[in-house]
Structure 1
Amino acid sequence: MGDGVVHEREPLALATLTTLRTGGAPERMLEAATTDELVAALRDVWARGDEWFVLGGGSNLFVGDEPFEGTVIRILTQGIEELPSPHAGRIRLRVQAGHGWDALVAYAVEHGYAGLEAMSGIPGTVGASPVQNIGAYGQEIQETLVEVELIDEATGEISVVPASELGLGFRTSVLKHHYGGVSLRRAVILSVTVDLVVASERVVQGAQLRRALGLDSDAPVPLTWVRERILATRASKGMLLDDADPDTHGVGSFFQNAIVPEAVARALPPECPRWPVTPDLDTVTVIPLALYDGYVPPVKPEAPDVKVSAAWLIEQAGIRKGFALPRSRASVSTKHALALTNRGGATAAEVSELARFIQSRVHAEFGLVLQPEPVLLGVEL
């Protein structure tokens, strides 16, 4: 643990700390390398009443061109602690919020702990992973997440919150600041605990992951092989950070795959890729005791929502890979239609202009409004 001292430094331009490479320097910048320092920094900012946000890997953040009028707290905490699991054949890892997500996945695979390998190569920090319930190829953090340690802005108190209380949904949680709204719970994650299977190989489940890996048998495969294949696949789509490759100078998928009612999905062309969203099988019916007459009405079956491919919608709306507006330094990735990239010196205004153009084309063609996936700071779409 640290000394609990607030460490202030000369503010850096956020363009140098975010993967989309936009944003000026904030008014004030603090750095926290230990949990004690992070808690001290947050309590200091909250006591001052500053505008604030925390910065991990900067891989899911789109920052506007105007300097942020407030304090940025850089989370630099590191560390993985192995803990016993109450379940046979499993182990728990408690990981500091500033630890690199892919470094955690690499650690798990190297030690023969299964449950994270399909999420290899996702940029960012461990603390950000539950905020947007990260996932890839059918695997999501919510499948292994046990609890988070967090500190609430309203009280300044630290608590351990089980995953069931985080409101985890498709790329969302009660902690996520959605575009056009605010987070339901203003808090910062200090550490994350996951529960993994002790196994150096696994039978791969899930059609999406099996397709990505090219598997047609049920034989177990090594975790290391799964990780290598996923990293290669992400690299081919420009989804692995590489200073030399402008296709990776973005936030990964800029738009979320659209979640729509089944009736809306049926109106889309049949060739549009789609996946059913698993319905809530544990729906609770609450009947006030004073009104209960011994009869519990049957639950009406509802058609599950459908997730449709935003990348397909974008390309079918006439936006091809590599597309850029005239004289703009922002473009769609040459490898993946969902990624918007900074080709060198692009302003946030240029990226925003491209994003709005894509939204308008998809809406005109299909009647759907694509929602941005990254957190937007000082930017309007």
Structure 2
Amino acid sequence: MTETSSGGHAGADLAADTPFSELTTMRVGGPAEHLIEARSSDELVRAALQLWEYDDPWLLLGGGSNTVMADEGFEGTAVLVRNTGIERIDAEPGTVRLRVQAGHNWDELVETCVEHGWAGIEALSGIPGLAGAAPVQNIGAYGQELSDVLHSITFLDREIGEVLRIPAAELELDYRSSSIKSGREGVVLSIDLLLTESEDTANPLSAPIAYGQLADALGVTVGDRVSIRELRRSVLRLRASKGMVLDAADHDTWSAGSFFTNPIITERSARGLPTNAPRFPVKGLEPAPAVTTFEELEAGVPLRVPPTPQPPQVKLSAAWLIENAGIPKGFRIPGSGASISEKHTLAITNRGAATAEDVAQLARFVIQLVQSEFGVILVPEPNLIGIEL
């Protein structure tokens, strides 16, 4: 069934039988029952409010780089986020505040910032997808995370049915996580970023380099700053070498990027791993003030409860775990159309005719083998719709 914008749903409909294999970078999945293309924030709001009013099953789809849809498709409405635009908002001297519409292509945004010499997201070059998905996942790469520069978001909150401006501090941004990903239902309409404006307009510099591999590729040390344009070029080269820059001719890029997150476990649990297993310290919770003053209580400040102390944690390398569990680059289950990338073991790829079940079968095999070998359970990073692992 196809509905027009003059019917019960807001926005412009696409063909009802357009499969997700044509809308996602993994290129698998059947069609949604309805598709709506929202080209403005107003259309996004109208579409969401109408769907919520009738409690229809729904999902948002941006660039499709973080979604794997079941072969059966989706029994509901998929809203395609297509509002674009970048607006500069005045900020303090030396900083630039940008308001970016949710449907704006992320890498095009990074390219624009690099060309203007606005530093803070250049190491996030080449990440596929749209700006609105960035805070949901708290995207990150090569030592930078969105949380480093996110000021706030414009958000249509389902619980109250209103558009809110939410500061980044209230989004519980963590490693590939946020309060939105954890269950706060709604629609990101735009994001605000606070970037650094270089004093050297002729040769603007990057933010300090925070990732060893990137520093090595540039021939500098961690903490150095380099030409922001050269840093972007280096990041794109590194990502391309791992099959992480979209290329229709390269099946290693027919993927959802990193299929698994890097596991975070306690230091004590990590002691059982081989000594050469990479592990990186994880910053713990900041201690909260132990006392709430009478003045604060009178002002309505809730009584502070210090967080329960957490044992020290470390982040592991999912790629190392996969490789050392015996799964090499290019591994494929016989007869399957899906395989591990030939460039990077962290990506599951579509070799041209994969089904969603092929992808799921390979993911299950990887999870089971890593758990059997190391006792660590890998968690998928993309959104799996109608797929059980």
TM-score by length of 2: 0.89
- Cross-structure match for 1:25: 31
Question: Counterpart of 1:82 in 2: which secondary structure?
Answer: strand
Question: Counterpart of 2:135 in 1: which secondary structure?
Answer: coil
Does 2:197 match 1:192? Answer: no
- Distance apart, 1:302 and its partner CA: 5.6
- Distance apart, 1:303 and its partner CA: 5.0
* 1:7/1:41 contact within 8 Å kept: no
Does 2:220 match 1:201? Answer: no
- Cross-structure match for 1:280: 285
Pairing of 1:206-355 with structure 2 (within 5 A): 206-208=210-212, 209-216=214-221, 220-285=225-290, 303-355=311-363
Pairing of 1:1-381 with structure 2 (within 5 A): 5-11=10-16, 12-85=18-91, 87-176=92-181, 183-199=182-198, 200-202=204-206, 204-208=208-212, 209-216=214-221, 220-285=225-290, 303-381=311-389
Deviation per residue, 1:14-60 (Å, 9 max, x gap): 11000011111111111111111111111121122210001100000
* 1:100/1:126 contact within 8 Å kept: yes
Task: List gaps (5 residues or longer) in structure 1.
Answer: 177-182, 290-295
- Cross-structure match for 1:293: none
Counterpart CA distance in 2 for 1:219 and 1:328 is 45
- Alignment CA distance shift 1:299-1:129 (3 Å): closer
Task: List gaps (5 residues or longer) in structure 2.
Answer: 1-5, 199-203, 295-303
- Alignment CA distance shift 1:340-1:117 (3 Å): same
* 1:322/1:333 contact within 8 Å kept: yes
* 1:249/1:341 contact within 8 Å kept: yes
* 1:137/1:212 contact within 8 Å kept: no
- Alignment CA distance shift 1:297-1:100 (3 Å): closer
Counterpart CA distance in 1 for 2:312 and 2:216 is 23
Counterpart CA distance in 1 for 2:319 and 2:157 is 37
Identity of aligned residues (%): 48
Counterpart CA distance in 1 for 2:307 and 2:70 is 46
Counterpart CA distance in 2 for 1:369 and 1:346 is 25
Counterpart CA distance in 1 for 2:94 and 2:171 is 26
- Alignment CA distance shift 1:41-1:237 (3 Å): same
- Distance apart, 1:351 and its partner CA: 0.6
- Distance apart, 1:342 and its partner CA: 0.5
* 1:260/1:305 contact within 8 Å kept: yes
Residue 264 of structure 1 aligns with an amino acid whose one-letter code is S
* 1:256/1:310 contact within 8 Å kept: yes
- Distance apart, 1:278 and its partner CA: 1.4
Counterpart CA distance in 2 for 1:60 and 1:8 is 22
- Alignment CA distance shift 1:144-1:203 (3 Å): closer
Counterpart CA distance in 2 for 1:207 and 1:29 is 40
Residue 121 of structure 1 aligns with an amino acid whose one-letter code is G
CA RMSD, Structure 1 to Structure 2 (Å): 2.2
- Alignment CA distance shift 1:297-1:369 (3 Å): closer
* 1:54/1:72 contact within 8 Å kept: yes
Moved >4 Å (runs of 4+): 286-289, 296-303
Counterpart CA distance in 2 for 1:93 and 1:281 is 29
* 2:62/2:80 contact within 8 Å kept: yes
Counterpart CA distance in 1 for 2:360 and 2:224 is 46
TM-score by length of 1: 0.91
